[in-house]
Structure 1
Amino acid sequence: MDHDMIIGIHSIAEAIRNPERQIFEIVTTDEGFQEFKKRSGLRDHEIPLNKVRWLEGHALQEEAKKNYRDLDLEFQRVPSGIFMLVSPINIYEPTWIYNQLESRIPIKILALDQVTDAHNGAAIMRTAAFYGVDAILISAKGNFGLGPGFSRIASGATEHVKIVRCSALPKTITKIKELGATCIGLSEHASGTLGEMDHSKPICLVLGAEDVGMSHAVSRVVDTTIAFKPAGKIKSLNVSVAAAIAMEKIFGAV
Structure 2
Amino acid sequence: MTTRRDDPGGSRPRPFGGPRRFGARPGYGRPPERARPSGAAEGVSVLYGWHPVVQALGNAGRTLHRLLATENGAARLTEHFGTLRIVPELVRPSDINALLGPDAVHQGLYLEADPLAAPGLDDLPEDALLLALDQITDPHNVGAIVRTAAAFGVAGIVTTARHAPGATGVLAKSASGGLEHVPFVTVRNLAEALIELGERGFTRIGLDSEAETSLDALAPTRPAVIVLGAEGKGLRERTRSCCDVLAKIPFSGEIRSLNVSNAAAITLYALGRR
| TM-score between the two structures when normalised by the length of structure 1 | 0.85
Matching of residue 53 in structure 1 with residue 80 in structure 2? no
Aligned to 2:116: 89
Separation (CA, whole Å) in 2 of partners of 1:154 and 1:125: 5
Letter in structure 2 aligned against 1:83: Y
Q: CA deviation at 1:81?
A: 1.5
Aligned to 1:225: 246
Separation (CA, whole Å) in 2 of partners of 1:15 and 1:243: 24
3-state secondary structure, aligned to 2:212: coil
Matching of residue 214 in structure 1 with residue 235 in structure 2? yes
Aligned to 1:43: 81
| Greater RCO (CA < 8 Å, at least 6 residues apart) | 1
Aligned to 2:13: none
3-state secondary structure, aligned to 1:79: coil
3-state secondary structure, aligned to 1:132: coil
Aligned to 2:16: none
Q: CA deviation at 1:2?
A: 4.0
Task: Note the 1:12-51 alignment, pairs <5 A.
Answer: 12-37=53-78, 42-45=80-83, 47-48=84-85, 50-51=86-87
Gaps of 5+ in 2: 1-41
Q: How many residues align?
A: 232
Aligned to 1:175: 196
3-state secondary structure, aligned to 1:230: coil
- RMSD (Å) for aligned C-alpha atoms: 1.9
CA gap of 1:128–1:77, structure 2 versus 1, over 3 A, is closer
The one-character-per-residue Cα deviations of 1:160-190 (angstroms, maximum 9, x if unpaired) are 0010011111111011001111111110010
Matching of residue 11 in structure 1 with residue 67 in structure 2? no
The answer to whether the Cα contact below 8 Å between 1:8 and 1:151 also exists between their aligned partners in 2 is no
The one-character-per-residue Cα deviations of 1:12-70 (angstroms, maximum 9, x if unpaired) are 111111111112221111122234456xxx3313x23x5211123333434x25xxxxx
Separation (CA, whole Å) in 1 of partners of 2:203 and 2:43: 37
In terms of fraction of residues, the more helix-rich structure is 1
The answer to whether the Cα contact below 8 Å between 1:187 and 1:227 also exists between their aligned partners in 2 is yes
3-state secondary structure, aligned to 2:60: coil
The answer to whether the Cα contact below 8 Å between 2:135 and 2:164 also exists between their aligned partners in 1 is yes
3-state secondary structure, aligned to 1:146: coil
Matching of residue 109 in structure 1 with residue 130 in structure 2? yes
The one-character-per-residue Cα deviations of 1:90-110 (angstroms, maximum 9, x if unpaired) are 23333334xx3xxxx311110
3-state secondary structure, aligned to 2:107: helix
Aligned-residue identity in percent: 28
The answer to whether the Cα contact below 8 Å between 1:11 and 1:152 also exists between their aligned partners in 2 is yes
Letter in structure 2 aligned against 1:143: A
Aligned to 1:68: none
The answer to whether the Cα contact below 8 Å between 2:148 and 2:265 also exists between their aligned partners in 1 is yes
Q: CA deviation at 1:229?
A: 2.3
Separation (CA, whole Å) in 2 of partners of 1:131 and 1:87: 25
| TM-score between the two structures when normalised by the length of structure 2 | 0.79
